[in-house]
Structure formats: C-alpha cells, structure tokens
Structure 1
Amino acid sequence: METIQEYASELILLLFLALTFLQSGADKIFDWKGNIGWLKGHFLKTPFRNSVPLLVGFILALELITGIASLMGIYGILSSQNTSMAFWGALLGCITLLMLLLGQRVAKDYDGARTIVIYLMPTVFLLFLLQN
C-alpha cells in the first residue's frame, strides 16, 4: 500500500498511457482497412500520401510497444519500486505522440494536432516525474 501512495501519480499516468495506446493499437488491428481508408484521404495532399499503410504500421507497432512498456512499468513499480520500464514507457509515449503530432501538422489538421498536445502534456509530466 505504501508503494501505491508513493507512486500514485506515476501509476495513474502509466495506466492512462497503457489504455490510450493499447486501445488505439487494437482499433488499428481490428479495423485496419477502415483506418487506412480514412487516413489515405486525410493525407491525400501531403508528402505522406503514398506511405500511409507503412506509416500506420510503424505507429501501430510503437503504440503497442508503448502500451506494453507502460503496463510493465506499472508492474515494475508495484513489485519492486523499479521505475526503469515506466521511464521507457513514458519516453516512447512522448516519441509516439510527437510522431502523431507531426502527421496532424503536415495534414494541416490543427484541431487534431491540438488534441495530440492534450495527450502529450500528461505524458511529458510523467517523464518528468520518472527522471528522479
């Protein structure tokens, strides 16, 4: 119980990342064609237009790795107060979100970019908490 109290913020933020990225990854897996079809239209007038499936596959892999690393970070904190995997989950989360932000900016979807920043802020805060 002491560990939960000591690491409450980190655990909640790691759970936030795990839920966010694993759900997003699952959505891409279970509705690959729908996602690709929508994103091809979204990136039609960008330099990414011919690379959409490849880029979505890369983002999918990053999302799943980030979600799993976040879950492993929760386990590491709860089992031994080890924050190493939690740090990597947060760092990968920041990298993944920055890549998504780049995509939204290139597509000139500024509302979508703003939404990504909303996810990025708690992720950067988690990274800050785990640097100590």
Structure 2
Amino acid sequence: MIQVAPLLILALLAITFLQSGYDKIKDWKGNVAWLTGHFEKSILAKQVPLALGIILLLEIVAGVLCVSGIIQHVIQDVVIRGLGFYGAILSCITLLMLLFGQRLAKDYDGARTIVIYFIPAVLAVFWLS
C-alpha cells in the first residue's frame, strides 16, 4: 500500500530544491551579487561564490534524490530506506547549512522561514527510516 504522506513531503522537497537550483543556475550573477551584499558583514563575505556553488550542488542532488525516491516508492509499493530517505537527509543537511548562513547574516526572518521547511524534511527522514 502506497503511503501518501512521505510522497507529498518528498514532492515538496523536490520542488523546493530543484526550483531553487534552477534559479541559481539561471541567474548566477544576480544571486552572487545579492548574496554578496547579504553576507557583507559576515565571515562568508569573501566566500559567496564558493558557498553558493556548494548549496547549488546540494540542492540539485537532494531534489533529484527526492524525485527518485518518489519513483522508487511508487514502483516498489513499500516505504523503505531508499533514495527518498537519502534525499530527505541531504535536504536536512542543506537546510541546516542555509539556516547557518542566515544566522551569520543576522537575517532572523530568513532563518525562521528555513525552519518551516526543515520540520517536514525531518518528518520525511523519520517516516522513511
């Protein structure tokens, strides 16, 4: 029997990270410029392009793993510790990195928004473990 709740959370994470990754690729220069200003008073000020590249890679891999997990779950018709589980874990790690950055930048509203995504990501890890 297909469990819908983990699939919905994996879909949420996949959409979130794949769209975010796509936006970073499409407007790399704009993102670097905005984030350079955002982090100008933090220890990340000179590391923005590198940090953005790392986050981009993590977002794309997490999104692809979440999509793959949905497909695996539907095909195998069982919740297992498979690709979706690893996608959910990578999503949590990525969100923690983003949260750390927002806290360094003293953007507490941005940090609060990330926590909203983190809660279902942790729930997905729990359900898929």
> Is TM (by shorter chain) over 0.5?
yes
CA distance in 2, matches of 1:59, 1:53: 10
Contact 1:76 1:83 in 2 (8 A): no
Residue of structure 1 aligned with 2:25, choices 24, 29, 36: 29
Match of 1:67 in 2: 63
TM-score (norm 2): 0.96
Structure 1 position 83, deviation (Å): 4.0
Residue 30 of structure 2 aligns to a residue whose secondary structure is helix
Match of 1:125 in 2: 123
5+ unaligned residues in a row in structure 2: which ranges?
none
Contact 1:77 1:83 in 2 (8 A): no
CA distance in 1, matches of 2:122, 2:100: 17
Amino acid at match of 1:101: L
Contact 1:39 1:52 in 2 (8 A): yes
Structure 1 position 19, deviation (Å): 0.2
Matches within 5 A, 1:100-115: 100-115=98-113
Residue correspondences, number: 127
CA distance in 2, matches of 1:15, 1:111: 25
Match of 1:53 in 2: 49
78-87 or 8-17, which moves further after superposition? 78-87
Deviations 1:28-52, CA, capped at 9 Å, x for gaps:
0001111000000000000100010
CA distance in 2, matches of 1:79, 1:129: 18
Percent identity, aligned pairs only, is 53
Contact 1:73 1:83 in 2 (8 A): no
Structure 1 position 88, deviation (Å): 0.1
Residue 49 of structure 1 aligns to a residue whose secondary structure is coil
CA distance in 2, matches of 1:47, 1:83: 37
Amino acid at match of 2:94: T
